[in-house]
Amino acid sequence: MLSAAIQAEILRLRSAKRWGYSQIARHLHIHRESARKVARRRSVALAPAPPAPRTTVLTPFRARIQTLLTRTLRARR
């Protein structure tokens, strides 16, 4: 994670000086995508963002599957 000072500098260079992502990255010795992510977020992140919850192919059908399993288990008892 980039320090708050580097992130603030990216935002300053992007908004005040209208520098491109590649130029900012070369100037600060960071990857171009890192500069782009900070500039698009438009804020300084002090802590890393929590990871997005993982989903599977079955996630959209979870409620239906549980309903069917519940019915099946009740019928067998």
Q: pTM score, two decimals?
A: 0.61
Read off the pLDDT of residues 15-73 as tens digits, 9 standing for 90 and up. Answer: 999 999 999 999 999 999 999 999 999 999 888 778 888 889 999 999 999 999 988 77
Residue 77 within any structural domain of the chain: no
**43 close to 2: Cβ distance less than 8 angstroms:** no
Residue 17 within any structural domain of the chain: yes
Domain residues for 4? 1-47
Per the structure, the count of domains in the chain is: 1
CA 77/CA 65 separation, integer angstroms: 19
Tokens 């599977």 -> residue: 56
